[in-house]
């Protein structure tokens, strides 16, 4: 079973600007209520926790995220580890369309 088959939540393909720790600009390529895949050429180590912010519609979303896997010079898969119930609901509505 591949890692894509292990995903338990629906994901939506996106092209969203994200900011990591208030300084690193990157681009999300997909999002779920659990996390997102972020295109960045910055190197991250699996397990690293940082703040990530982005918009859903006109709403600002801020969460703490942990790097689940990293592909050097390609991107990172992150899991939200601290996300308010309100922001989680905004993401859920967005993903479910």
Q: What is the CATH number of the domain that holds 23?
A: 2.40.10.220
pLDDT tens-digit profile, the chain (97 residues): 334 444 567 888 999 999 999 999 999 999 999 999 999 989 999 999 999 999 998 999 999 999 999 998 899 999 999 999 999 999 999 999 8
Split into its structural domains, the chain has a count of: 1
Segments of the chain assigned E as strands: 12-20, 24-31, 35-39, 49-56, 59-71, 75-82
Contacts of 59 (CB under 8 A, 6+ apart): 90
pLDDT at 8: 67
49 assigned to some structural domain: yes
- Burial classification of residue 12, based on how many CB atoms lie within 10 Å of its CB (0-12 exposed, 13-18 middle, 19 or more buried): middle
**What's this model's pTM, rounded to 2 decimal places?**
0.86
- For residue 19, tell me if it sits in a domain: yes
Which tokens belong to 1? 């079973």
Q: What pLDDT is recorded for position 3? A: 42
Domain range for 37 is 12-96
The contacts of residue 58 (CB under 8 Å, 6+ apart) are: none
Asked whether residue 42 is domain-assigned, the answer is: yes
């Amino acid at each position: 079973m591949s890692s894509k088959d292990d995903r338990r939540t629906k994901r939506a393909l996106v092209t969203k600007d994200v900011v990591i720790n208030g300084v690193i600009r990157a681009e999300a390529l997909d999002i779920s209520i659990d996390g997102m895949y972020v295109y960045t050429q910055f190197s991250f180590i699996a397990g690293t926790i940082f703040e990530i912010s982005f918009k859903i519609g006109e709403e600002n979303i801020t969460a703490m995220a942990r790097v689940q896997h990293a592909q050097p010079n390609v991107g990172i898969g992150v899991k939200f580890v601290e996300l308010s119930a309100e922001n989680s609901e905004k993401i859920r509505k967005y993903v479910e369309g």
